[in-house]
Structure 1
């Protein structure tokens, strides 16, 4: 096995499934017993026709009926046990893989921008769990009993055995055709389902914009252009699956009648008894039932197999081993050395040849026109988008020498689009650390100048803000996001357009927060269009076309640009 991340993580899914092997062995054993009990009906019918009716013995009938009732009751108990075991198998796989799948889902958008990012690993894990807890494994466990049932039919009469064997062979051919025909349509259906769901989710996130600007009907029209091919391929897959299932069912019923007819002729010829005729017909139906069930479950089997492959690939693609060496928290300097950065999954560099160094207590303002790469630089500095070339170092170590959970407390990041999570204000500021010191939460809020505002909320710091911080205004979300970035007094603080939604009071609080962080020997990188955000920086980087156009002392650089300098605040 290779030492790549993919090579290390790909067996993770297989390993989780292999640990259920013992439980599946138990399911197979229970299936063996249930299949033996399935002989109860044919044998009961054989005894009724060949012994009870000929002898007219009521006690024999009562005894056989009581025995069959007990066997069927036992069969029912075993079916319940098997169903529950399969459910537990699915739950165990889900428990073992849900954590890595969730992590991969978080990391995948940071690694690629293609359509696979919409194929969330949790959905693939759900498909695997649902298949394993359903009737698919039951059909697989029942299939090996097909030759045993056919062998019993051969014992009744060779002609009946050959007729049943021919029917089974035809059904197996139908199954193979089903597999070949459904493979690509099911793959296309899965891809189009992801596209359709992503389109609908984008509309849900932007419902306010669509409503306010009357774009709802036009967006729905675009959705319909996406939905139409999805409906078409879904109908095609459904029609193919339904056709195969219906054809299989009709063929099985016809074969059962053919066996009955052949058995009747053999009974007339006195080659077999009427009881054997009925038993052979029932056994033929039972022998072919697993094939029919497999065809009915084939769509789910194909989807599960594709989910298994995708999940293994995404776990390997989305997860990387954390460094074994634990480095101390950085606190001295930041060095950016000729970096080039591209969007995930893209080879085109959005920024390149950037180089600068900052020491503890420095603050760098980054300015430039839209599309010059400022936000790309912010993502690179906090380790979201890795550098294609060059390196970003904290105290001499590249960012990948820290595990994200270890470096995270030393990083403060306020993205351009502030996203808060469903939870309380305090939980969001504390980055959902269950052991966070309440005094540290209040201190971060005070540094961001949002403490008094939070106290005005209905439940103060315990106010639940809803999904995406729905109950807050854009300015409130930005100020709470700033408090989150300042929580724990991080060493490197990157603020992307931190005053975009702030009023005069908020801008004053931002300026004071930057000054206070510098006094605590933090390094700040402030990306801004509005000059007020540069009040407390001492250096300015000008970006243009993804390159470093100028860098130097704030007043000197701003004097050469169209942006006027702003006096620093205390």
Structure 2
């Protein structure tokens, strides 16, 4: 593959290509620094072969001042390329940060594939390798042949010795690559499993503590951690062995190069100054190879992170920009919809049809596991439709961007999740807080008076996940968040599960207001109170529509089914949501 083909195959390689100017300037400064590395060699030759022979102090002063100037230039070149690498890392973060966050979040929502944090860990690993000291070994490596060439100029035997040791170091680097790729990948997977298990249990620490589950969970985690520790020990042992061999070869090179130089001095083929200079030059020539061996593990980790990011961005391309998104009216249709949970194959919803016009309240009933929450997630686009159509105002969801559709949709999931911040920030969906809209949403949800009783009112911090609030308070704040901004479509999944009588009355009042204002409401519930406001009822059983139609007709059919004799087989029985109104 050509270089241009490589750099055009993915977004991350395109981002690296956009830093081409930085890489070129870094390469130039690396060239300057490596050329100036020859200065100590030349200085030694001048001291031993000129100053000590002539005993001229002026010559010593001039040569010393010149070498000091060259050292200062070399230090500037080293500093400049380090500074440029840091700037390149910052630019890489700016170029990819938003895309990696969006793609990682999309994978987490649509596929259940881990957390967005892992994607940022991969990006950080790539950036740290590209901006760390290890990358200098790869910039300095092309200059090793030049140093070896200078050694050939001093004497062919010195150049031959350098070539032999360079080949040995290269063989060690190749061996390290062949022997560490698979262990490194296995180690990364084991570490991911161990951390994922631990993080999952920490999220439920209260239940673990209350029910005495700590020892049992620790035993399972210990098995995962033991496997990780075993793989880590094997990988580290292999890396240390390769590093030890590399150090041994380097020390042997220093000794043998000095011995070969001494032999040549004895034979009168080179001077003593050339012997010392050759030893320093050979060490410098082989240093980049040794650095590559030491940095190889970091390179493998960055390489694996690079390919994971590349796959992530390819699987979740950026959404197209929509210049003129229409205003959502709230007409929602499902046509022969099949849907399933991320990572599963068996469909949860099958052949679901639904039409919810503006100003209507649709109540979804059904036993646990019938697909009600899945239907709610499909309606707001959280889970994709695997077959069939979801239409908003006759258009697919792709007619809107997330930025324009999201504020026009209100969603209250069954498990209300709040975020660290104030009550006002959570209600305002962490956008710029519009006090009038926040208060209006809170009043509609029956939350306003309760909030005013808090010490800081709407500026009261609620803790991460709303841990400082009760379940009912979290649910009512979640309802106010769904109502914020006067959305055209509201999908509420068990919004009254944790509400008391006052909260229930406030919810019914809010639903009545929404209908009067022409909003479309779809509510999943087991309580009968809201049925009095419903325009239509949808009954799900095993992911399929059992009953659908106007409220009175569906309730009459359900009542008749309850009073009829029980069938011989429960496979075709209708669900009986409880309680039903008299």
Fold in common (TM above 0.5)? yes
Structure 1 stretch displaced more, 556-565 or 494-503: 556-565
Structure 1 stretch displaced more, 441-450 or 453-462: 453-462
SS in 2 for 1:526: strand
Structure 1 stretch displaced more, 551-560 or 262-271: 551-560
* Residue 541 in structure 1 maps to residue 538 in structure 2: yes
Aligned match of 1:442: 439
Q: For the residues of structure 2 that align with 1:322 and 1:458, how far apart are their CA atoms?
A: 45
Q: For the residues of structure 1 that align with 2:225 and 2:530, how far apart are their CA atoms?
A: 45
SS in 1 for 2:533: coil
Q: Aligned in 2, Cα 1:399/1:38: closer, same or farther, shift over 3 Å?
A: same
Aligned match of 1:124: 122
Q: For the residues of structure 2 that align with 1:70 and 1:328, how far apart are their CA atoms?
A: 67
Q: Contact 2:158/2:278 (CA < 8 Å) preserved in 1?
A: yes
Aligned match of 1:135: 133
Q: How does 1:9-24 map to 2 (within 5 A)?
A: 11-24=10-23
Q: Contact 2:326/2:400 (CA < 8 Å) preserved in 1?
A: no
Q: CA deviation at 1:70?
A: 2.8
SS in 2 for 1:120: helix
Q: CA deviation at 1:8?
A: 13
Q: For the residues of structure 2 that align with 1:450 and 1:45, how far apart are their CA atoms?
A: 82
Q: For the residues of structure 2 that align with 1:546 and 1:336, how far apart are their CA atoms?
A: 14
Q: Aligned in 2, Cα 1:185/1:533: closer, same or farther, shift over 3 Å?
A: farther
Aligned match of 2:374: 376
Aligned match of 2:47: 48
Q: Contact 1:8/1:316 (CA < 8 Å) preserved in 2?
A: no
Q: Deviations over 1:404-436 (max 9, x none)?
A: 2211122110001111112221121111221x5
Q: Name the TM-score, length of structure 1 as normaliser.
A: 0.93
Aligned match of 1:113: 112
Q: Where in structure 2 are there 5+ consecutive unaligned residues?
A: 1-5, 562-575
Q: Contact 1:361/1:523 (CA < 8 Å) preserved in 2?
A: yes
Q: CA deviation at 1:482?
A: 0.2
Aligned match of 1:3: none
Q: CA deviation at 1:10?
A: 5.8
Aligned match of 1:4: none
Q: For the residues of structure 2 that align with 1:191 and 1:218, how far apart are their CA atoms?
A: 23
Q: For the residues of structure 2 that align with 1:299 and 1:8, how far apart are their CA atoms?
A: 24
Q: Contact 1:334/1:359 (CA < 8 Å) preserved in 2?
A: yes
Pick the aligned partner of 1:525 from 504, 511, 522.
522
- Between the two proteins, the alignment pairs up a number of residues equal to 559
* Residue 254 in structure 1 maps to residue 269 in structure 2: no
Pick the aligned partner of 1:231 from 215, 229, 232.
229
Pick the aligned partner of 1:215 from 213, 216, 223.
213
Pick the aligned partner of 2:470 from 464, 470, 473.
473
Q: For the residues of structure 1 that align with 2:9 and 2:352, how far apart are their CA atoms?
A: 36
Q: Deviations over 1:465-524 (max 9, x none)?
A: 222122222111110000011112212211111112112211111121112111111121
Q: Deviations over 1:433-455 (max 9, x none)?
A: 21x53211111100000011111
SS in 2 for 1:369: coil
Q: CA deviation at 1:191?
A: 2.2
Q: Deviations over 1:144-188 (max 9, x none)?
A: 111100000001111111110111111112111212222222222
Q: Contact 1:421/1:469 (CA < 8 Å) preserved in 2?
A: yes
SS in 2 for 1:490: coil
Q: For the residues of structure 1 that align with 2:99 and 2:29, how far apart are their CA atoms?
A: 32
Q: For the residues of structure 2 that align with 1:480 and 1:532, how far apart are their CA atoms?
A: 21
Aligned match of 1:67: 66
Q: CA deviation at 1:374?
A: 0.9
Cα RMSD between the aligned structures?
A: 2.1
Q: Aligned in 2, Cα 1:9/1:267: closer, same or farther, shift over 3 Å?
A: closer
Structure 1 stretch displaced more, 405-414 or 54-63: 54-63
Q: Aligned in 2, Cα 1:480/1:119: closer, same or farther, shift over 3 Å?
A: closer
Aligned match of 2:314: 316
Q: Name the TM-score, length of structure 2 as normaliser.
A: 0.92
Aligned match of 2:328: 330
Structure 1 stretch displaced more, 155-164 or 361-370: 361-370
Q: Contact 2:99/2:318 (CA < 8 Å) preserved in 1?
A: no
Aligned match of 2:185: 187
Q: How does 1:25-424 map to 2 (within 5 A)?
A: 25-114=24-113, 120-322=118-320, 324=322, 326-331=324-329, 333-424=331-422
SS in 1 for 2:386: strand
Q: Where in structure 1 are there 5+ consecutive unaligned residues?
A: 1-6
* Residue 556 in structure 1 maps to residue 571 in structure 2: no
